[in-house]
Structure 1
Amino acid sequence: MAQASSQDWNRGEKSGLVSIGSHSLYMAVSGPDRREGEPIVVLMTGLGSTIDEWVAVRRLIEPFSRVLFYDRSGLGKSEGPANAPKAISAVSIATELDTLLKNAGIDPPYVILCHSRGGITAREFLHLRPNDVAGMVFVDANQENTFTGHEDFPSPGFEAMLIGIDYYEIAGIKSNTPLSKEEFQTVLDIQGKPSTAITSKAEEAGAKGDSSVLAAKKQLQNQALGNRPVSVIHANTARDFQRLYEAGIEAGNGSESDRQEFRDIVEFWRETSTMRAKEILGLSSVHNFRDATDSGHNIQLLEPELIVDELKWVYNHPAKKD
Structure 2
Amino acid sequence: MASTMFQTSHSFGNDGTGLVLIDQRSIFMCAAGTRASSAQPAIIIETGSSGTSSGWIAVQRLLSAFSLAVSYDRAGYGKSKTPGESPTASQPLTATKRCEELTKLLECDRADKFPDGWPTLLADASYFDVVGLEKNRVLSYEEWAELKKNDEGNEPTVALEEASMKASTDKVNEKVAGKQAFGDGRLSVIFANESVEMRKGYDWGVEHGNSTAEAREALRKRLEDMAEVDEKGQRAHLSMSSHSKFVYAEGDARTQSVQVVNPQLIVDEVRWVLEGARRD
* TM category, shorter: 0.7 to 0.9
Q: Which runs of structure 2 are paired with 1:4-153 in the superposition (5 Å)?
A: 5=8, 14-33=16-35, 35-80=37-82, 84-86=87-89, 87-103=92-108, 146-147=109-110, 151-153=111-113
Q: 1:308 aligns with which of 242, 262, 267?
A: 267
Q: What is the Cα deviation at residue 269 of structure 1?
A: 1.4
Q: In structure 2, how many angstroms separate the alpha carbons of the residues matched to 1:200 and 1:165?
A: 21
Q: In percent, how many aligned pairs have the same letter?
A: 29
Report the TM-score when normalising by structure 2. Answer: 0.86
Q: Which has the higher helix share?
A: 2
Task: Check whether the contact 1:227–1:320 (CA below 8 A) recurs between aligned residues.
Answer: no
Moved more, 306-315 or 266-275: 266-275
- What is the identity, as a one-letter code, of the residue corresponding to 2:144? F
1:269 aligns with 2:223: no
Q: In the alignment, which residue of structure 2 is the partner of 1:180?
A: 140
Q: Deviations over 1:28-75 (max 9, x none)?
A: 111114632321100110111111001110110001111111111122
Cα distance change on mapping 1:234 and 1:225 into 2, 3 Å: same
- Tell me the secondary structure at the aligned position of residue 267 of structure 2: helix
Q: What is the Cα deviation at residue 268 of structure 1?
A: 1.6
Q: What is the Cα deviation at residue 4 of structure 1?
A: 5.4
Q: What is the Cα deviation at residue 197 of structure 1?
A: 2.1
Q: In the alignment, which residue of structure 1 is the partner of 2:163?
A: 205
- Tell me the secondary structure at the aligned position of residue 233 of structure 1: strand
Task: Check whether the contact 1:4–1:102 (CA below 8 A) recurs between aligned residues.
Answer: no
Task: Check whether the contact 2:32–2:61 (CA below 8 A) recurs between aligned residues.
Answer: no
Q: In the alignment, which residue of structure 1 is the partner of 2:195?
A: 238
Q: In structure 2, how many angstroms separate the alpha carbons of the residues matched to 1:33 and 1:222?
A: 30
- Tell me the secondary structure at the aligned position of residue 19 of structure 1: strand
Cα distance change on mapping 1:33 and 1:315 into 2, 3 Å: closer
1:214 aligns with 2:172: yes
Task: Check whether the contact 2:11–2:19 (CA below 8 A) recurs between aligned residues.
Answer: no
1:171 aligns with 2:131: yes
Q: In structure 2, how many angstroms separate the alpha carbons of the residues matched to 1:211 and 1:97?
A: 15
Report the number of matched residues: 269
Q: Deviations over 1:9-37 (max 9, x none)?
A: 9xx85211111131211111111146323
- Tell me the secondary structure at the aligned position of residue 37 of structure 2: coil
- What is the identity, as a one-letter code, of the residue corresponding to 1:91? T
Q: Is there any run of 5+ residues in structure 2 with no aligned partner, and where?
A: 1-5
Cα distance change on mapping 1:312 and 1:47 into 2, 3 Å: same
Q: Is there any run of 5+ residues in structure 1 with no aligned partner, and where?
A: 104-145
Q: In the alignment, which residue of structure 1 is the partner of 2:277?
A: 318
Cα distance change on mapping 1:241 and 1:45 into 2, 3 Å: same
- Tell me the secondary structure at the aligned position of residue 66 of structure 2: coil
Q: In structure 2, how many angstroms separate the alpha carbons of the residues matched to 1:99 and 1:44?
A: 14
Task: Check whether the contact 1:17–1:25 (CA below 8 A) recurs between aligned residues.
Answer: yes
RMSD in angstroms over aligned alpha carbons?
2.5
- What is the identity, as a one-letter code, of the residue corresponding to 1:301? V
Task: Check whether the contact 2:86–2:156 (CA below 8 A) recurs between aligned residues.
Answer: no
Cα distance change on mapping 1:83 and 1:291 into 2, 3 Å: closer
Q: In structure 2, how many angstroms separate the alpha carbons of the residues matched to 1:224 and 1:84?
A: 32
Q: In structure 1, how many angstroms separate the alpha carbons of the residues matched to 2:9 and 2:148?
A: 33
Cα distance change on mapping 1:215 and 1:44 into 2, 3 Å: same
Cα distance change on mapping 1:255 and 1:222 into 2, 3 Å: same
Q: Which ranges of 4 or more aligned residues in structure 1 deviate by more than 6 Å?
A: 6-9
